[in-house]
């Protein structure tokens, strides 16, 4: 009840949407009394979830549609941003909380700034960019950086492009591709972890794959990057292919100043990846589910 009150009294939710929420709550009561479900009405919890999210995250609702909403957020140390987020069962709100509301990325940022001025971060890869939430975070904190946002999924990529446009990020460049060990054709595979849009995987399919596989070195060359200042790598287990050949992995690790990687322990790859990072001069830190590598050979203020 307290959560509902916080939404009703919030000035960030327009009154007509508050009425819609109350209407849906009343339907739940009628359903319980009748023992019947009104399947043609949107469910209360689906509406409630993103309204509660806006109250918690200092967001203001700008547009509300059946499957998505547009909101603006006034975020501490970031400023004003605008985002299109899909409603449940999408993982978009979960990604927002992971990047902006939890402390992990703030602490990762502190590690990077311990070794480098934010004005000296010029080249960033965001691999597994999803809908652009991390790319926006990185852009706001490293304003001089050119960011390559790599996302294979068609629907995620479409929303990534929209969110970059909404925030007028002229140095963020979306790239629809799969980061891979070679130039194989790839396709989306569902079923990993919670089976939501932040958990998609890629598999090779030379006959029917509609996604181009690209190596790290391919994208560096295309982007005119001699080094990668910040490399965020969260590709749902795909990292096992990037690191299966130590020599190939070393070719881009040696050119990476700061690596932020989620190692997916569904696969026995952690020990091998950590070994390759240390063998290429990286100092290792841990923050939440991420491993952070700082390249002492490239590090410079």
pLDDT score at 16: 61
pLDDT score at 76: 85
Q: Does 33 have pLDDT greater than 60?
A: no
Average pLDDT, the chain: 86
Tokens of 275: 């070994």
Q: Does 35 have pLDDT greater than 60?
A: no
Q: In this predicted model, what pLDDT tens digit does every residue of 193-243 receive, in sequence order?
A: 666 667 788 899 999 999 999 999 999 999 999 999 999 999 988 999 999
pLDDT score at 53: 80
Q: Does 24 have pLDDT greater than 70?
A: no
pLDDT score at 260: 98
pLDDT band at 103 (very low <50, low <70, confident <90, very high): confident
Over residues 87-101, mean pLDDT: 89
Q: In this predicted model, what pLDDT tens digit does every residue of 158-192 receive, in sequence order?
A: 999 999 999 999 999 999 999 999 999 999 987 77
**What is the crossing angle of helices 246-253 and 216-223, to 10°?**
30
Top-confidence residue, 31 or 99: 99
pLDDT band at 44 (very low <50, low <70, confident <90, very high): very low
pLDDT score at 38: 46
Tokens of 280: 């290429």
pLDDT score at 61: 85
Domains of the chain: 2-87 (no CATH), 99-295 (3.40.50.150)
pLDDT score at 64: 85
pLDDT score at 55: 74
pLDDT score at 40: 46
Percent of the chain exceeding pLDDT 70 equals 81
Top-confidence residue, 41 or 91: 91
- Weakest mean pLDDT among 11-25, 86-100, 147-161: 11-25
Over residues 6-35, mean pLDDT: 55
pLDDT score at 15: 58
Percent of the chain exceeding pLDDT 90 equals 65
pLDDT score at 31: 46
pLDDT score at 34: 46
Model-level pTM? 0.85
């Amino acid at each position: 009840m307290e959560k509902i009150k916080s939404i009703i009294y919030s000035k960030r939710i327009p009154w007509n949407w508050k009425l819609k929420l109350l209407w849906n709550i009343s339907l739940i009561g009628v359903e319980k009394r009748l023992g019947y479900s009104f399947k043609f009405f949107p469910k209360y919890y689906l509406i409630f979830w993103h309204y509660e999210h806006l109250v918690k995250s200092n967001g203001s609702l700008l547009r509300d549609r059946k499957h998505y909403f547009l909101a603006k957020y006034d975020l501490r140390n970031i400023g004003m941003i605008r985002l299109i987020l899909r409603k449940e069962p999408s993982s978009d709100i979960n990604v927002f909380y992971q990047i902006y509301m939890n402390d992990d990325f703030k602490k990762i940022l502190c590690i990077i700034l311990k070794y480098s001025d934010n004005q000296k971060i010029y080249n960033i890869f965001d691999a597994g960019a999803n809908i652009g939430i991390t790319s926006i975070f990185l852009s706001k904190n490293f304003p001089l950086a050119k960011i390559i946002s790599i996302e294979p999924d068609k629907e995620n990529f479409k929303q990534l492009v929209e969110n970059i446009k909404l925030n007028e990020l002229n140095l963020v460049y979306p790239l629809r591709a799969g980061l891979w060990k070679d130039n194989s054709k790839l396709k989306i595979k569902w079923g990993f972890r919670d089976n939501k849009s932040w958990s998609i995987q890629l598999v090779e399919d030379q006959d029917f794959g509609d996604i181009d596989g690209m190596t790290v070195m391919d994208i560096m060359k295309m982007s005119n990057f001699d080094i990668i200042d910040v490399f965020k790598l969260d590709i749902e287990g795909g990292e096992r292919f990037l690191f299966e050949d130590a020599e190939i992995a070393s070719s881009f690790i040696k050119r990476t100043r700061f690596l932020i990687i989620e190692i997916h322990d569904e696969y026995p790859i952690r020990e091998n990846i950590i070994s390759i990072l240390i063998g290429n001069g990286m100092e290792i830190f841990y923050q939440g589910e991420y491993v952070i590598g700082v390249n002492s050979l490239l590090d410079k203020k």
